[in-house]
């Protein structure tokens, strides 16, 4: 009883410990995911705001229509012309600010004089945008903030951009634009945690440009322990999480450690109480299982041993041993166990039947091995006969026949004499040379073949017969006496690139599509469709998604076939 209860509690305690660790991690990830998700939203909103400032400033710079009119205005002498240009600039500024509701204060700033023109709102005295906290300088634009608005009538937090207008005659003229203060305030008050969340904004060098809690993280100070790769950490009783923008600045969510751990502590209390309840239930179930299962299982174990002894006296697969064991075996008086015992007996009979089937299959396999050896006799006989023809041709001075027989013999040796062995790119190219020699003698025209191969990949293992079907394509599609077949094998990074191209008659787009997408018809036993189908299948079997096949062809322009194979070093046997 004690042993059984102990064996029941140990798995429970183990599962409890694992569950605690898992659930704790899941809850922590859930809290952090909410914080990080909200933080990404803040970062994305700030990026969108800066992007909008950049877009509007482009329209007001010299490259935009408003900037060009400003240049004309500054150069105009006639009062009427100046009045007309002033009205046009004002109207276009009004249109731009009206169509961009997120834009706040907008004006042109003359740095040397410290003056402004074309303000769409009132400007505070002592306007000096350079004194605002610099967030970053990208593509000739300085971004500031968050900082108090320079709008005379509001004192909200905004982002701003200062961009040189690039006038031909003056380089001290800038366009100054602020984001709408409601937009910036709304971004920085987002909360995806449920507790108190403060935000910081750091520049590219980790300097605090904006802080919700300046008492802990003062503005214009270096963030403690700043690294460009750090995404989270703890400092001064606060947990912080960082999201870095593509422009280099960062936004941080800062949470007091007490708020962060409050949810974890509440869950820990619930786990302890639940564990105590489950422990009591486990003890009760352990006692019931011992009484209702453990004792019947002991009787069932004795029944199995008795059945094994009885089966050993009979023949495997026979009915006598099973019937004897059934007659001697006492019933457990538990329907479930009696049914299980009956299924065990049936399973034993099925296993003995399977043993007999396996024995028969092994005998059949041995017969197939003998047949395989017999089939290998014919290729060797054929190659020996071709060797005899080769020497007869040499003795009788038949050079062309000798050349034909040697190429055929080498090709047959590669195709038939090396079955079951690995192939390399070097061997594939050698077999391809022999094949082309045979085809050149077979056809009544001459064609030029250029083969270039990178020495680094010649000993790379590849599936057999990948190149021959590709070259067959050139011969089957209109190659003539002006024909040229080029084979290029190169290493590109971690891949081997094999290109076979010709200057033959080419194929239509429909023919290329059929080769790449459709399997060959059942009635076609030879030809290009079968060869390409073999290449596609071998690439799929040995490389999966790591390989690629492309065909480019047009009528009258030849065909280009490109294979891309990964350098896996696998032995394709």
Q: What angle do CA 228, 233, 238 make, to 5 degrees?
A: 130
Residues 171 and 199 placed together within one structural domain of the fold: no
Residue 123 lies in a domain: yes
Looking at the domain assignment, is residue 36 inside a domain? no
Q: Both 167 and 80 in a single domain?
A: yes
- Residue 19 CA to residue 443 CA, distance in Å, equals 75
Most confident of 44-53, 376-385, 416-425: 44-53
Where helices occur in 481-564 by DSSP H, the ranges are 509-517, 528-543
23 assigned to some structural domain: no
0.85 exceeded by the pTM?
no
Q: Lowest-pLDDT range, 121-130, 340-349, 449-458, 532-541? A: 340-349
Asked whether the bond before 420 is cis by omega within 30 degrees of 0, the reply is no
pLDDT at residue 486 greater than cutoff 50: yes
What pLDDT is stored for residue 315 in this prediction?
Answer: 45
Range 12-24 average pLDDT: 67
Q: Which pLDDT band, with edges at 50, 70 and 90, does 326 fall under? A: very low
Q: Give 104-152 pLDDT, tens digit per residue.
A: 899 999 988 889 999 988 899 889 888 888 888 878 889 887 888 899 8
Q: Which ranges in 61-99 belong to alpha helices (H)? A: 65-75, 79-99
Q: Are residues 391 and 496 in the same domain?
A: no
Evaluate if residue 175 carries a pLDDT over 90: yes
Mean pLDDT of 69-87: 89
Give mean pLDDT, residues 294-299. Answer: 66
How far is CA 366 from each of CA 88, 360, 378, rounded to the nearest angstrom?
97, 10, 20
- Domain membership of residue 138 as a residue range: 43-178
How many domains does the chain divide into? 4
Among candidate residues 161, 178, 195, the one where a domain is terminated: 178
- 38 within a domain of the structure (yes/no): no
Angle at 296 between CA 295 and CA 297, to 5 degrees: 90
Residues 153 and 222 in one domain: no
| 449 plus 546 within the same structural domain | yes
User: 166-180, 185-199, 247-261: which has the minimum mean pLDDT?
Assistant: 185-199
Beta strand extents in 431-494 (DSSP E only): 448-453, 461-462, 484-492
Confirm whether 474 is domain-assigned: yes
Give the pLDDT confidence score for residue 322 in this predicted structure.
Answer: 44
Pairwise CA distance, residues 38 & 193, whole Å: 8
Q: For residue 445, give both structure tokens.
A: 């025209």
Task: From 178, 197, 229, give the residue that closes a domain.
Answer: 178
| Confidence band, pLDDT 50/70/90 cuts, at residue 474 | confident
Indicate whether 488 and 559 sit together in one domain.
Answer: yes
Bridge partners (DSSP) of residue 489 are 453, 498
**pLDDT reading at 281 higher than 50:** yes
For residue 386, is it within any domain? yes
Residue 526: per-residue pLDDT: 43
Please report the pLDDT score of residue 492 as a whole number: 92
Q: Is the pLDDT of residue 444 over 50?
A: yes
Closest CA to 199 of 29, 46, 27: 46
For residue 271, being part of any structural domain is answered with no
pLDDT score for 40: 83
**What's residue 372's pLDDT?**
56
Q: Is 288 domain-assigned?
A: no
**What is the mean pLDDT of the segment spanning 388-401?**
72
Is there a single domain that holds both residue 174 and residue 190?
no
Note whether 166 and 111 are same-domain residues.
Answer: yes
Reported as a pLDDT band with limits 50, 70 and 90, residue 488 is very high
Is the domain of 135 the same as that of 213?
no
Nearest to 474 by CA among 542, 345, 561, 347: 561
Integer CA distances (angstroms), 412 to 298, 344, 408, 423, 424, in order? 68, 56, 6, 15, 17
For residues 476 and 555, membership in a common domain is answered with yes
- Domain boundary, last residue among 260, 280, 297: 260
- Residue 307: its H or E element: helix 295-313
- Domain containing residue 526: CATH number: 3.30.565.10
pLDDT in the model for residue 390: 67
CA 250 to chain centre: 26
Q: How many CA atoms lie within 13 A of 162 on its CB side?
A: 23
Q: Do 47 and 136 sit in the same domain of this protein?
A: yes
**112 and 163 share one domain:** yes
């Amino acid at each position: 009883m004690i042993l059984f209860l102990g064996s029941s509690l140990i798995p429970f305690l183990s599962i409890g410990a694992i569950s605690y660790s898992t659930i704790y991690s899941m809850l922590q990830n859930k809290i952090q995911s909410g914080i990080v998700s909200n933080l990404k939203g803040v970062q994305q909103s700030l990026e969108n705001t800066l992007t909008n400032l950049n877009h509007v400033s482009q329209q007001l710079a010299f490259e935009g229509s408003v900037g060009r009119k400003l240049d004309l205005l500054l150069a105009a002498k006639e009062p009427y012309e100046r009045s007309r240009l002033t009205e046009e600039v004002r109207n276009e500024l009004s249109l731009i600010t009206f169509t961009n509701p997120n834009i706040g204060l907008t004006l042109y700033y003359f740095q040397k004089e410290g003056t402004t023109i074309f303000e769409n709102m009132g400007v505070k005295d002592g306007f000096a945008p350079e004194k605002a906290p610099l967030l970053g300088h990208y593509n000739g634009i300085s971004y500031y903030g968050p900082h108090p608005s320079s709008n005379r009538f509001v004192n909200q937090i905004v982002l701003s951009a200062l961009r040189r207008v690039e006038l031909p005659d003056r380089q001290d003229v800038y366009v100054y634009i602020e984001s709408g203060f409601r937009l910036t305030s709304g971004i920085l008050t987002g909360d995806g945690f449920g507790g108190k969340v403060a935000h910081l904004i750091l520049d590219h060098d980790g300097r605090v440009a904006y802080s919700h809690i300046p008492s802990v993280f003062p503005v214009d100070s270096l963030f403690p322990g700043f690294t460009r790769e750090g995404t989270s950490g703890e400092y001064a009783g606060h947990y912080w999480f960082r999201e870095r923008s593509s422009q280099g600045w960062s936004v941080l969510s800062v949470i007091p450690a007490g708020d962060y751990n409050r949810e974890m502590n509440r869950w820990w209390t619930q786990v302890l109480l639940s564990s105590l309840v489950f422990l009591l239930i486990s003890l009760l179930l352990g006692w019931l299982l011992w009484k209702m299962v453990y004792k019947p299982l002991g009787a069932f174990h004795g029944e199995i041993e008795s059945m094994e002894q009885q089966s050993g006296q009979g023949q495997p697969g026979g009915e006598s041993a099973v019937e004897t064991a059934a007659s001697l075996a006492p019933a457990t008086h538990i329907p479930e166990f009696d049914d299980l015992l009956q299924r065990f007996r049936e399973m034993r009979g099925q296993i003995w039947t399977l043993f007999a089937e396996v024995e028969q299959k092994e005998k059949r396999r041995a017969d197939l091995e003998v047949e395989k050896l017999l089939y290998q006799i014919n290729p060797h006989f054929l190659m020996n006969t071709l060797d005899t023809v080769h020497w007869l041709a040499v003795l009788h001075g038949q050079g062309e026949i000798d050349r034909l027989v040697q190429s055929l013999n080498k090709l047959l040796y590669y195709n038939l004499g090396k079955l079951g062995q690995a192939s390399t790119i070097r061997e594939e190219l050698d077999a391809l040379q022999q094949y082309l020699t045979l085809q050149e003698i077979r056809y009544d025209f001459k064609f030029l073949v250029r083969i270039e191969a990178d020495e680094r990949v010649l000993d790379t293992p590849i599936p057999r017969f990948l190149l021959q079907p590709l070259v067959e394509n050139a011969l089957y599609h209109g190659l003539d006496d002006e024909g040229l077949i080029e084979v290029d094998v190169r290493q590109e990074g971690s891949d081997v690139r094999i290109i076979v191209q010709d200057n033959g008659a080419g194929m239509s787009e429909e023919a290329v599509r059929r080769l790449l997408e459709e399997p060959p018809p059942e009635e076609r036993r030879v030809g290009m469709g079968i060869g390409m189908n073999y290449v596609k299948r071998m690439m799929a079997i040995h490389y999966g998604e790591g390989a690629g096949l492309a065909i480019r062809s047009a009528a009258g322009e030849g065909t280009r076939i490109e294979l891309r194979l990964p350098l896996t070093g696998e032995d394709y046997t």
